[in-house]
Chains A and B, each alone.
Chain A
Amino acid sequence: MSFREKSRNVLLSLSNQRFLFKELVKRDFKQKYKRTILGMLWSVLNPLLTLFVMRLVFLRFFGRSTPHYTVFLFAGTIFMSYFKDSTQNGMESLVYNATVLQKINIPKYLFIFSRNVSAFVNFLLTFLVFLFFCVLDRLPVTWNYLLLIFPILCATALNIGVGMILSCWYVFFRDITYLYGIFLTLLTYLSGIFYNVNEWGEYSKLFLLNPVYVLIAYVRQVCIDGTIPSLAMHALMFFYPALFLLIGALTYRKYRHEFIYYL
Chain B
Amino acid sequence: MWAVSCENVSIRYKVGDFKAIGLKEYVMRRLTNNYRVQDFWADRDISFTLEQGDMLGIIGPNGAGKSTLLKAISGILLPYSGTIRTNGKIAALLELGTGFDVDLTVTENTYLRGAMLGYTEKFMKEKYDEIIAFAELEDFQDYKFVQLSDGMKSRLAFSIASLVDPDILILDEVLSVGDGAFRIKSGERLKQILNNGVTGILVSHAVEQVRELCNKVLWLDHGKQVTFSEDVETVCNAYEEYLTARTALPSDPVDFVRLSDSYKFRAQRRADIRTREKKRDIPSALSLLMEEAPEVINNDQAMSYLDV
Interface residues of B in 1-30 (CB under 8 A from A): 13-14, 18-20, 22-26
**A44: CB under 8 A from chain B?**
no
Residue pair B92, A23 in contact (C-beta under 8 Å): no
The answer to whether B112 has its CB under 8 Å from any CB of chain A is: yes
Q: Is the CB of B22 within 8 A of A174?
A: yes
Is A175 within 8 A of B23, CB to CB? yes
Residues in A whose Cβ lies below 8 Å from that of B13: 261
In the assembled complex, the Cα of A99 lies from the Cα of B119 at a distance in Å of 19
- Judge whether B74 and A105 touch: CB under 8 Å: yes
Q: Does A132 contact B (CB under 8 A)?
A: no
Contact yes or no, A175 B24, CB < 8 A? yes
A26 in contact with B108 (CB, 8 Å): yes
Question: Which of A14-22, A79-87, A235-243 interfaces with chain B?
Answer: A14-22
CB distance from B40 to the nearest CB of A (A): 10
Q: How far is the CB of A222 from chain B (nearest CB, A)?
A: 39
A103 near B98 with CB under 8 A, answer yes
Q: Is B146 an interface residue (CB 8 A)?
A: no
B206 within 8 A of A: no
| Chain B interface main SS type | loop
Closest beta carbon of chain B to A207's beta carbon, Å: 28
* A179 on the B face (CB < 8 A): yes
Pick from B24, B77, B87, B115: contact of A257, CB below 8 A: B77
Is there an interface contact between A173 and B108, defined as CB atoms closer than 8 Å? no
Complex alpha-carbon distance, A23 and B118, angstroms? 12
Chain A 91-124: CB-based contact to B (< 8 A → 1; otherwise 0)? 0000001011111111000000000000000000
- Could you say which residues of chain A place their CB within 8 Å of the CB of B104? 27, 30
Q: What residues of B have a CB within 8 angstroms of the CB of A104 in the complex?
A: 76, 92, 99, 116-117
Q: In the complex, what distance in Å separates the CA atom of A26 from the CA atom of B111?
A: 11
- Please measure, in the bound complex, the distance between the C-alpha atom of A26 and the C-alpha atom of B121, giving whole angstroms: 14
Give A223 Cβ to nearest chain B Cβ, in Å.
38
Contact A19 B19, CB 8 Å, known A27-B108, A30-B108: no
With a CB–CB cut-off of 8 A, which chain A residues contact B25?
A: 175
* B78 contact set on A, CB distance < 8 A: 257
Cβ contact of A262, chosen from B19, B98, B116, B119, cutoff 8 A: B19
Query: With A16-B119, A99-B99 given, is the CB distance from A173 to B22 under 8 Å?
Result: yes
Is the CB of A142 closer than 8 A to any CB of chain B?
no
In the bound assembly, the distance between CA atoms of A104 and B119 in angstroms comes to: 13
Q: Binary interface profile of B, 104-141, with partner A (CB < 8 Å = 1, else 0)?
A: 10001001100111111100100000000000000000
Query: Is the Cβ of A174 less than 8 Å from the Cβ of B115?
Result: no
The answer for the CA separation of A193 and B25 in the assembled complex, in Å, is: 34
A99 to B145, CA, bound (A): 16
- Answer whether residue B193 sits at the interface, using C-beta atoms and an 8 A cutoff: no
Best-surrounded residue of A22, A26, A104, A174 (most CB of chain B within 10 A): A104
Interchain CA distance A80-B203 in the complex, whole Å: 51
A3 to chain B: closest CB distance in Å? 16
| Chain B residues, CB < 8 A from A24 | 112, 115
Q: Mark B30-43, 1 if CB is under 8 A from A, else 0.
A: 00000000000000
For residue A15, which residues in chain B have a CB less than 8 angstroms away from its CB? 120
Q: Is the CB of A173 within 8 A of B76?
A: no
B95 nearest in chain A by CB position: A103
Residue of B nearest to A256 (CB): B78
CA distance A176 to B14 in the complex (A): 21
A230 at the interface (CB under 8 A from B): no
Give the residue among B26, B104, B115, B119 with the most A Cβ atoms within 10 A: B115
Partner of A173, one of B26, B77, B87: B26
Chain B residues with CB under 8 A of A257: 77-78
CA distance A79 to B14 in the complex (A): 41
Which single member of A19, A30, A179, A262 contacts B18 (CB below 8 Å)?
A262
Closest to A97 in B: B99
Choose among A13, A97, A174 the residue that contacts B118 (Cβ–Cβ < 8 A). A13
Is the Cβ of B22 less than 8 Å from the Cβ of A105? no
Interface check B103, CB cutoff 8 A: yes
Contact A173 B120 (CB under 8 A): no
Q: Is A260 an interface residue (CB 8 A)?
A: yes
Contact of A31 with B by CB under 8 A: yes
Could you tell me if B22 and A103 are in contact, using CB atoms closer than 8 angstroms?
Answer: no
Minimum CB–CB distance for B198 against chain A, Å: 18
Is B207 at the interface (CB under 8 A from chain A)?
no
- Closest Cβ of chain B to A203, distance in Å, is 30
Chain A residues numbered 21-59 whose CB sits less than 8 Å from any CB in chain B? 22-24, 26-27, 30-31
Further pairs besides A24-B115, A101-B76: 11, Cβ < 8 Å: A16-B120, A19-B121, A26-B112, A27-B108, A100-B116, A103-B92, A103-B96, A103-B99, A106-B116, A172-B18, A173-B22
Provide 9 A-B residue pairs closer than 8 Å at the C-beta atoms, listed in order of the A residue: A16-B118, A23-B111, A30-B104, A31-B103, A100-B116, A103-B98, A106-B116, A260-B77, A262-B18
A binding-site residues for B, Cβ under 8 Å: 1, 13, 15-16, 19-20, 22-24, 26-27, 30-31, 97, 99-106, 172-176, 179, 257, 260-262
Partner-A contacts on B (CB < 8 A): 13-14, 18-20, 22-26, 71, 74-78, 87, 92, 94-96, 98-99, 101, 103-104, 108, 111-112, 115-121, 124
